[in-house]
Structure formats: structure tokens, C-alpha cells
Structure 1
Amino acid sequence: MKIPIRTVVIDDEPYSRDELKFLLERYGDVEVIGEADSGEKGLEVIITKEPDVIFVDIEMSQMSGLDLAAALKNLKKTPFIIFATAYPNYAAKAFRVDALDYLLKPFNEEELDETMKRVKERLNKNKVVEKSEPTIAKLAVEDERSIVYLSPSDITYLFREDRETIICTVDRKFYSKLPMKDLEEKLRGYPFFRTHKSYLVNLDKVEQLIPWFNGAYQLKVAGRKDEIPVSRNYVKSLRERLEL
């Protein structure tokens, strides 16, 4: 299963946001992870969720789309910028802030197709560059008086219990105050899969998928006796990821 293109829509007109979200949902590999009705709120969403691409209007009160694009240059991870506006006269300024494309309202589906094709090409190029550069990034967790750096490949699964996230290796457990969604984001790019709202599993460690009840399953991972729940909503996607 392909990792979806994480997208945010920013426009002060609710109708325009809804129309664009509707059009984007036609693509099976696009996920709208957030929206905002102003440049200020859009910046907050971008910083929090780190999308791959944003669709942003230009003429908005206070912070315009161009101002937002300029502010994004200070971020460590900058999304691709697609301007979606009713005004054609800003195109030159848009490309000066490194916009990937410029769409005019009302939206034309063929033009949007071309835009998404361009986005996918650029994302694929970036992935090739990332794969060519070896990474030694590790997950930092606290262990009594020290910080332990875990290789993602050593983690078998994570789960949320009370107000802590428990990170399991073959022979140890570590505890983190970070919510599951934050750890899931840190492990993006590694073979981790959400099997349940409270569980995230390293697919490289999966050994058995066991039928349970009402369409749900349980997983067993290498080196541990624990039975990990798999919600029936995730079973199909999980099997697609696991099986040849």
C-alpha cells in the first residue's frame, strides 16, 4: 500500500475549501490531513502536521498566501506550495516564492490532474535522494537517569497505556510521555503500521496473524509472547502490506 500524499488546504472561503477537498479525495493516494481559514492558522497546521503539499489561496486577510509561503522558508521541512486562487495576476510573484504550481478558480479537473502528477514526480525524486543518503537517526527515550537511543529496527511494537507510550524491543520496555501520534510521525519512513488506535507495530517483526472474533485479528511478533490486537478496520490494509 502506498503512503498517501499528506495535504493541507488553506482558504478563507469555506466553499472553495470544500470543493478542493472533494476533488482531492478522488485520488486514492491523497489524504487531506488538515485545513485552515487563514494564513495564520494555516501556518500552525503546517508546523504541527508537516504535510507534503499545501493548497493555499493568495488573497486572505492579515497573512496572505504569499506571506505564508515566505514564512515557510524558515521551516526545516517545507511542503510543496500550490496556489489556488481566482486571481491570475499573482503568478509571477507566486513562482518567486518557489510555488510548484498555480491553479485558478473555478478548478479545472484536468489541470488539477496535471498538478498532482507534478507533485508525485517531485516527491518521487526526493525519495530517491533520501534513499541514496544513509541515515543513522535513532529514537531517543528516557531510561531512569540516561537517554537511550533506539534503532527503529530494534523496536517490535509500541502501545499507549494510561498517559504513557510503551516502546517494546525483544527484551525490554521503555516509557515515553510522547503521544502515539507523535512517535508514529517520528517513525515515518520505517515499516511501522497502526493495527489499532493504541498499537503501532514493526511489520518486519510480524510472525503470525491469528483470527480472533468479529473480523478482528491478533498479531504475534518475533521475540515476544504478547498478542497484539488488530482492529477489523485495519486487517485488509495490513495483509496488503505483509503479503506478496
Structure 2
Amino acid sequence: MNILIVDDEPLARLRLSGLIEELDNCQVVGDAVNGDDAIQKVQLHQPDVVLLDIEMPGKDGLETAILLRQQQNPPAIIFTTAYDEYALQAFKSGGQAYLLKPIRLEELKQALLQVAKPNRAQLAQLSNKKPSSQPKDFRKFIAVNYRGALIKIPVNEIHYFKAEQKYVLLYHLQKEYIIDDSLKSLEEELSAFFVRIHRNALVNKKLISELRRNRLGRYTVFLNSLEQELPVSRVHIKEIKALMKGISH
């Protein structure tokens, strides 16, 4: 199944491309940054499916979808957006599926199965994901924007994630990066590797070296090679103690 990614955000395009790499018989044939670019790339690559963002400069995704559906062999359209209020308009514009960011691998796979044409071999083949020893939906890396460049950070090297007001920070090698994932979605996806220690923090389980209680009865954890202590809320103390003792839940 040939897929074209349309999104004005480089990080979003990279994330979708990474998810597609996890699926058999699916490949990215190109990407586009706006509606006009998308129309040209569809004519050039003739993709089976277009993953289409909605809010973009110039032609938005809704207008672009209408134009794409007018082509002789129109691709299937899956809208990918951070906003749920466009759902009705999206389907009226010719969209066949609607995914909310951050998009999970299983959600993307089901949407691709939904829009696949019955006479194509991909419909049966898509249900078989590449063999992997990693947990379901687990990303091997997270892409971050740093000084104008996109950097891939291996998930197993991340120290912790921390929510700060409207943002989530990723901490790695003494640096903090802003990412677009929510703490809740990260916890669901990476629960085998990260544990919540506070309402605003997830830490790498394998890096926890010490759980300490101070004179006021408050707990903190220390991470390997990190000269910083992180507070543990009372509701998570039992789980952290069990983790330190090697007890699985």
C-alpha cells in the first residue's frame, strides 16, 4: 500500500513515517507540506492512501480532500488532526477515516484496513505486523526538534518525561526537549518501560537507582548518572517500592 503524508509540521510527518515503517506491505512514497503540494504529489506518485492534516497554510485539508476526490483515480483519504471539531466536515469532504493526534500504531493500522480496497492484496497482508520483540505500539525512538533540526532519541535512553503547564518535556543526556505527546498517551504506550511517579512525571524504570524518604516523610527517586532527585507522590509510592523490590504488577 503506497501512502502519501501531508502535514505542514516536520515532526508530525516524521512520526507518521515511523509508524508506517512498522507495518508490512506499507510504504511512504512521498510527503507534502500543504494542499497545493499534496495535489501535485498525488498526481506524481499515485498513492493508494493520503494521510491528510486539516489545519495547514494555503489550502486546508478539507478543501484539498474535495479536490483529490475529483481526480480520475482518487486515493483513499485519512484525516490526521489534533482537533475533533472537524469530523463531520471531514467525512462530507470525502474522508474515509479520522484520526486524532497523537496517533497510535494500532489506530493507524485499523484505519488503513478500513480504507483498503477489497480487491487489493494489502487488505489481508496489512493485518500482519512485522515481527517484533518490542511491546505493542512501542516506538523505538522519539523525534524532537532541536535548533532547527530533527533528532531521533532512543526511547530506552530517555531519563524521564515531565509535564510543564501546556507542554511535556523529554529529559535526555542533561538536555530537555519539548515534545507534542501528552503524558497520558506516553504512559499508555510506554508503560512497560516507564512508570508514573507523580501526576506530572514518568521515569525510566531501569534507571531508578534509589528511593529515599526525608525527615518530613516525603519520597524522592534518584536515577542512574543523574544528579537530580524527583518527587514521588503518595499514591505512587507502593508501586515504586514494588518495582525496587523486583515485584511485577
Q: TM-score, normalised by structure 2?
A: 0.47
Q: Which has the higher contact order (CA 8 A, sep 6+)?
A: 2
Q: TM-score, normalised by structure 1?
A: 0.48
Q: Choose between structure 1 and 2: higher helix proportion.
A: 1
